Structure 1
């Protein structure tokens, strides 16, 4: 900075002339990468990014100071070191390693970005494009769809540093800002490829192009036209390297009209074959009070019904499905009691599902049966905060029950003894000294409990999420049931003598809120067993009550058979019917139709990116598919999938070798991304985990974590290998493969 030269220029001269003049004055080779800065009146420096504009356009005035900066051997710029305020240690300065074997610092949940960047960095022809500075002549600073060259220059900086061989790891600060909206390696790849394409688009002014339907013309003719139209608006190293062509066929179900179009693509998002089975864990509660609840692991149809769940359980227990009732238990209450014809898709994996054995004559919905099923809750009285008050709070605890009761025994006294029997495994009967001195009697002469109404699963009495109340289950402000405490107005009043617990009618939430009782229709009673703390402590065994056993089936794991990558690609090209949310407008019928759609591969790019759609989203569930996809390291043959007439003399045009894999470990809400990549110079595979880089063997690459695969066409690999042979000179411009004519054009 202490050495200056003065030079004169015309206002119409380009900034590029200023740069060449500076290179001559300071004896800097044109092969060295340089850039210019101009000092403003305020004393700050501003980059002169676009060297193709004139001095007048760049607003350069006489006497202004222009600074030329030369890239360091480690790929960094001196100005970057100055702004960072820190210098490299002596050990870092002396480090020399294999180019490309360089980690990326995690800047806080940016492992997805690091994985995507490592994959892209190991695409040989793209990396060579930046290392050889070919991008400098193709930077597009005026593209409104681009970022004025920022992404391209930031990526060039990263590539040059990673492939300088002088860094163990680097900090991708710029990319954290540029790609801050993405949280997935595939999403970031899509964003990055699109950004690089627009920043390096050779088309400076895009013309309007209409997509043309085949209208009965030969596929070859329509495909050539579609690709030419695409190149009239999109022409970059990204198109040369990653873009291929689909054939899309839509058929109207009404008139039979066929629409054929050819569309470019940058990567394939292929589905994984989804199992039609589902594993569900449930608890079976027997009518036999001596048996503890059993945990079962059942395999059921994914699109099955509640009845399928009961039938699967019947095979394990020997209990008929007709003697089962299924309920979702949440916070010590019934969140929902299901009907047999309801869909299993409404049950989430995290739900606690209890299946109760009931009498074969029982029904919670029909009054014509001899037995009825009554939902039973357990509550404990807790002293009120005001100790001068006689009021108590009531807290739900334990697992609720569904109990079959004969209609002719629907009295408080009979129900008490039925429940005492059902609880006998963990409730101790009083000794002779404590024996109660008489049965409870109804005030109105032993009247029976009124017949229940219709409140089965799905009725208005089932508590929804907004009704479920706090997880503590406290019914605050409730008066402790006394010997004369009434139920709803249509229930008979009763007196109680000395019993272990008292019984109280409650609503489906387990509270005594009268607004939730439907007296006009005699709503289904929910009964609460209310315990005094001392009685509960003395006669109720909480440990035994919470105990359960595991059925042998719990150790069974539904093994997911591995699938071949070719199966995923075949599924991708399978005909499908459009969804209601995304219909097709038929130009013949003049209305939207649920047409059939089929995608076929017409031509494939030099580097093929295959995204495995591991994340599945439906109306009721979200899941990550951890199916093992078997993919070949070498010789992935696409000849059976490409429908374009093939060149039999060039089979390498349809064979691909793996060069990189982006991995995802974890689930939907959390996870970690890493990369396997093959170094273009050494041919050695490495594992990139943020800062850490380690060599691996090929048999370590295939795993359930594989998420995005990068394949390189074998003819490209041969071409690149030939160019690196001793005595081979680098051509002035990269050859671009034309997927339509299958010829090599020099740009």
Structure 2
């Protein structure tokens, strides 16, 4: 900056002439990459990006200072280092490594961007295109669909640094800023999808380097009964009129679905009517679009209990969040829900709506002392697992229910001895009255005597109490004096509270009953460890492995005919109406480099999931000949065979995860694993995994052609097409 040269130009001269003059004056080889800056009146510098415009268009005036900058050997620009305010250490300056073996710093959840960049960086044709500066003559600064050439330049800077062999790792700050500027979804430091970033970047490069400066309008061509080959040629010619092909254009991607299993694995707890048996954990395989009845049938195969003797409930925070009907969809149950399936008495043999047994939901509560010791108020706190208990209609009395529950809890509740019982006087106000005959929960049950009816039909009424005026409840329930015993019974609402506003006054409404314990009685007679215990059925130990699928199966699914939904009809250009139709995608021709996106993330109306199916993909000789419908050149079979060159991996689930890359170096042929800053060599047998997300394949004829181009006297072959056509056929039903 301490030496200047003065030169004269016409206002009609181009900025390119200024650049060439500066190169001559400072003896800089035309092969070296340079760029110009102009110093403004306020002292700031502004890039002269478009060297094709005139001095008048660039608003250059006499006396202005123009600075020529030359790219450093490590791929950086001196001005970038000045703005960053840091300089490389001596060790970094002297570092010489294998070009392309360079990590990328994670700026904060930017592993998705790093993975996509490493994959693209290891596509030979694209990298050579930038390293040999062929992009400089094709930068399109005026394309309204582009990004003023800034994305292409930012990507070129990364490529040149990564392939200079002078860096172990680089910081992609400038590139990240450019991406966020032109695509607001990538602003900040949230986790994103590597394939989405890849799609944005490919489109940005395509438009920033588009040779067509003004795109003409073309009509979408329709077959109208003509041969496919004729229509394909016409469509391709129309595309070329708007998009002249350049080297990077083939890098479009093919999104292929994964075979989705129609089965679902669910874990449930089975609660037997036999009080001696602990709850049993089961792992069941059910239809993904099945019903609650399918869940019961799957459990019946493990337990031998009839599905008609089962009731399914979602238990949350010691209460029933929901009790399901048999015809409800399984999609309403989430994987994180705690599902309990209770054995109850069988169905009525008389009519569907007449039950001789009633299934009553039972909650467990413990009295807690009030904070104010001058008050007699006691709070009640739910604990333990709730129960669904079958009770015969003709035994719906408080006495019978007390003894049925005492029997049902006998595994973890100790019966008091005669010495433990309080022999104080007890006055039964309406001891002969029964509990009103309420309706059933989730279908209820019929008479089928089991162990729950094992208690005596009459007994000490002091073991329970009904609501009184001081304990809110429906007015039709019998009144009974209170006596402290093992536990007392109380009608509650579905939340487990005695809030009168939540009671249904209908005499047929289903009651919920709470077993209320005094802390001292609970401590003496209730075994919490035993109550919470459960056993695992043998099925829980089974590892349900998902069968791997071949990549060819995914491609076959992509080309399978599908029927469009009624909500998404096809618009017919002939009859000018929307019609029900079938849709089929076929491949007509293939690009030199094919990107295959495995659609691992599944989104439906009821669920979202990541498919961690192992997709078996070949490292070499991926044959597409059976999928291409264009008449094939029998003399060039290599035009349909591909070798793998890179893989973008995703580890984790829907909301979080980490991206890495496997890539084959174009110069050494060695595979490496890129994990942000870290780069390590790997073998080919380490590449295939359940994490594979985006696959990069290169056509087999390309490698030999690239080698031939390095020989003297060889010229570049014609650039391949930007987007190879996919034949899409529609059949109206």
Q: Which runs of 5+ in 1 are unaligned?
A: 234-256
Larger mean Cα displacement after TM superposition, 704-713 or 724-733: 724-733
Counterparts of 2:44 and 2:644, CA distance in 1: 47
Instruction: Report how far residue 181 of structure 1 moved.
Output: 7.9
Residue 178 to residue 22, structure 1, CA distance change in 2 (3 Å): farther
Moved runs in structure 1, 4+ residues, more than 6 A? 176-182, 257-265, 362-366, 438-441, 457-484, 729-747
Counterparts of 1:52 and 1:90, CA distance in 2: 39
Deviations 1:395-423 (A, max 9, x none): 11111100000111101111111111111
Instruction: Report how far residue 15 of structure 1 moved.
Output: 0.7
Task: Answer yes or no: is the 8 Å Cα contact 1:736–1:744 preserved in 2.
Answer: no
Counterparts of 1:486 and 1:311, CA distance in 2: 41
Larger mean Cα displacement after TM superposition, 535-544 or 427-436: 427-436
Tell me the secondary structure at the aligned position of residue 180 of structure 1: coil
Task: Answer yes or no: is the 8 Å Cα contact 1:375–1:400 preserved in 2.
Answer: yes
Instruction: Report how far residue 602 of structure 1 moved.
Output: 0.8
Deviations 1:5-45 (A, max 9, x none): 00111111111111010001001001000000011111111
Task: Answer yes or no: is the 8 Å Cα contact 2:660–2:674 preserved in 1.
Answer: yes
Deviations 1:549-600 (A, max 9, x none): 1111100122111110000000110011123443222345544334211111
Instruction: Report how far residue 474 of structure 1 moved.
Output: 31
Tell me the secondary structure at the aligned position of residue 736 of structure 1: coil
Counterparts of 1:327 and 1:705, CA distance in 2: 35
Instruction: Report how far residue 521 of structure 1 moved.
Output: 5.1
Counterparts of 1:297 and 1:378, CA distance in 2: 27
Instruction: Report how far residue 504 of structure 1 moved.
Output: 0.9
Residue 477 to residue 26, structure 1, CA distance change in 2 (3 Å): farther
Residue 221 to residue 614, structure 1, CA distance change in 2 (3 Å): same
Number of residue equivalences = 724
Counterparts of 1:544 and 1:101, CA distance in 2: 59
Counterparts of 1:5 and 1:471, CA distance in 2: 114
Task: Answer yes or no: is the 8 Å Cα contact 1:364–1:455 preserved in 2.
Answer: no
Task: Answer yes or no: is the 8 Å Cα contact 1:346–1:620 preserved in 2.
Answer: yes
Residue 422 to residue 686, structure 1, CA distance change in 2 (3 Å): same
Deviations 1:639-674 (A, max 9, x none): 000011111111111111111000011111111100
Counterparts of 2:535 and 2:546, CA distance in 1: 27
Tell me the secondary structure at the aligned position of residue 363 of structure 2: strand
Deviations 1:469-504 (A, max 9, x none): 999999999999779735211211222323211111
Counterparts of 1:55 and 1:212, CA distance in 2: 44
Counterparts of 2:661 and 2:230, CA distance in 1: 40
Instruction: Report how far residue 316 of structure 1 moved.
Output: 1.1
Counterparts of 1:723 and 1:611, CA distance in 2: 30
Residue 694 to residue 460, structure 1, CA distance change in 2 (3 Å): farther
Alignment counterpart, residue 714 of structure 1, candidates 685, 700, 724? 700
Counterparts of 1:461 and 1:111, CA distance in 2: 63
Task: Answer yes or no: is the 8 Å Cα contact 1:379–1:397 preserved in 2.
Answer: yes
Deviations 1:367-389 (A, max 9, x none): 62211100001111122333322
Larger mean Cα displacement after TM superposition, 257-266 or 82-91: 257-266
Residue 620 to residue 331, structure 1, CA distance change in 2 (3 Å): same
Instruction: Report how far residue 465 of structure 1 moved.
Output: 35
Residue 334 to residue 735, structure 1, CA distance change in 2 (3 Å): closer
Task: Answer yes or no: is the 8 Å Cα contact 2:316–2:338 preserved in 1.
Answer: yes
Tell me the secondary structure at the aligned position of residue 46 of structure 1: strand
Residue 67 to residue 161, structure 1, CA distance change in 2 (3 Å): same
Larger mean Cα displacement after TM superposition, 595-604 or 476-485: 476-485
Counterparts of 1:284 and 1:654, CA distance in 2: 55
Counterparts of 1:327 and 1:122, CA distance in 2: 54
Tell me the secondary structure at the aligned position of residue 250 of structure 2: strand
Residue 737 to residue 570, structure 1, CA distance change in 2 (3 Å): closer
Instruction: Report how far residue 174 of structure 1 moved.
Output: 2.2
Deviations 1:100-157 (A, max 9, x none): 0000000000001000000000010000000000111111111111111110000000
Tell me the secondary structure at the aligned position of residue 22 of structure 2: helix
Residue 732 to residue 563, structure 1, CA distance change in 2 (3 Å): closer
Instruction: Report how far residue 286 of structure 1 moved.
Output: 0.5
Larger mean Cα displacement after TM superposition, 650-659 or 486-495: 486-495
Task: Answer yes or no: is the 8 Å Cα contact 1:336–1:462 preserved in 2.
Answer: no
Deviations 1:182-230 (A, max 9, x none): 7011010001101111111111111122212211111111111111212
Task: Answer yes or no: is the 8 Å Cα contact 1:374–1:403 preserved in 2.
Answer: yes
Instruction: Report how far residue 468 of structure 1 moved.
Output: 34
1:188 aligned onto 2:174: no
Task: Answer yes or no: is the 8 Å Cα contact 1:33–1:70 preserved in 2.
Answer: yes
Task: Answer yes or no: is the 8 Å Cα contact 1:226–1:263 preserved in 2.
Answer: no
Deviations 1:151-181 (A, max 9, x none): 0000000000000001000011123977978
Residue 582 to residue 476, structure 1, CA distance change in 2 (3 Å): farther
Task: Answer yes or no: is the 8 Å Cα contact 1:226–1:262 preserved in 2.
Answer: no
What is the TM-score when the length of structure 2 is the normalising length? 0.90
Task: Answer yes or no: is the 8 Å Cα contact 2:247–2:719 preserved in 1.
Answer: no
Counterparts of 1:282 and 1:529, CA distance in 2: 25
Counterparts of 1:401 and 1:317, CA distance in 2: 19
Instruction: Report how far residue 348 of structure 1 moved.
Output: 1.1
Larger mean Cα displacement after TM superposition, 384-393 or 149-158: 384-393
Instruction: Report how far residue 466 of structure 1 moved.
Output: 34
Counterparts of 2:98 and 2:454, CA distance in 1: 61
User: Where does residue 171 of structure 1 map in the other structure?
Assistant: 171
Task: Answer yes or no: is the 8 Å Cα contact 2:586–2:728 preserved in 1.
Answer: no
Residue 424 to residue 726, structure 1, CA distance change in 2 (3 Å): farther
Residue 727 to residue 459, structure 1, CA distance change in 2 (3 Å): farther
Residue 732 to residue 703, structure 1, CA distance change in 2 (3 Å): closer
Instruction: Report how far residue 704 of structure 1 moved.
Output: 0.7
Deviations 1:57-84 (A, max 9, x none): 1111110100000000000000011111
Deviations 1:221-274 (A, max 9, x none): 1111111212222xxxxxxxxxxxxxxxxxxxxxxx999999999211101111
Residue 532 to residue 398, structure 1, CA distance change in 2 (3 Å): same
Residue 159 to residue 260, structure 1, CA distance change in 2 (3 Å): closer
1:312 aligned onto 2:298: yes
Larger mean Cα displacement after TM superposition, 183-192 or 470-479: 470-479
Task: Answer yes or no: is the 8 Å Cα contact 1:280–1:299 preserved in 2.
Answer: yes
Task: Answer yes or no: is the 8 Å Cα contact 2:585–2:729 preserved in 1.
Answer: no
Counterparts of 2:588 and 2:454, CA distance in 1: 56
Counterparts of 2:288 and 2:101, CA distance in 1: 45
Counterparts of 2:318 and 2:159, CA distance in 1: 58
Instruction: Report how far residue 364 of structure 1 moved.
Output: 15
Residue 580 to residue 626, structure 1, CA distance change in 2 (3 Å): same
Residue 733 to residue 351, structure 1, CA distance change in 2 (3 Å): closer
Deviations 1:417-448 (A, max 9, x none): 11111111111111222124389775334211
Larger mean Cα displacement after TM superposition, 330-339 or 176-185: 176-185
Counterparts of 2:729 and 2:592, CA distance in 1: 13
Larger mean Cα displacement after TM superposition, 305-314 or 729-738: 729-738
Alignment counterpart, residue 221 of structure 1, candidates 224, 230, 245? 230
Instruction: Report how far residue 746 of structure 1 moved.
Output: 42
Task: Answer yes or no: is the 8 Å Cα contact 1:207–1:232 preserved in 2.
Answer: yes
Tell me the secondary structure at the aligned position of residue 545 of structure 1: helix
Counterparts of 2:221 and 2:622, CA distance in 1: 33
Counterparts of 1:267 and 1:602, CA distance in 2: 15
Task: Answer yes or no: is the 8 Å Cα contact 2:355–2:446 preserved in 1.
Answer: no
Residue 221 to residue 73, structure 1, CA distance change in 2 (3 Å): same
Counterparts of 1:473 and 1:30, CA distance in 2: 107
Counterparts of 1:327 and 1:266, CA distance in 2: 49
Tell me the secondary structure at the aligned position of residue 259 of structure 1: coil
Counterparts of 2:621 and 2:650, CA distance in 1: 24
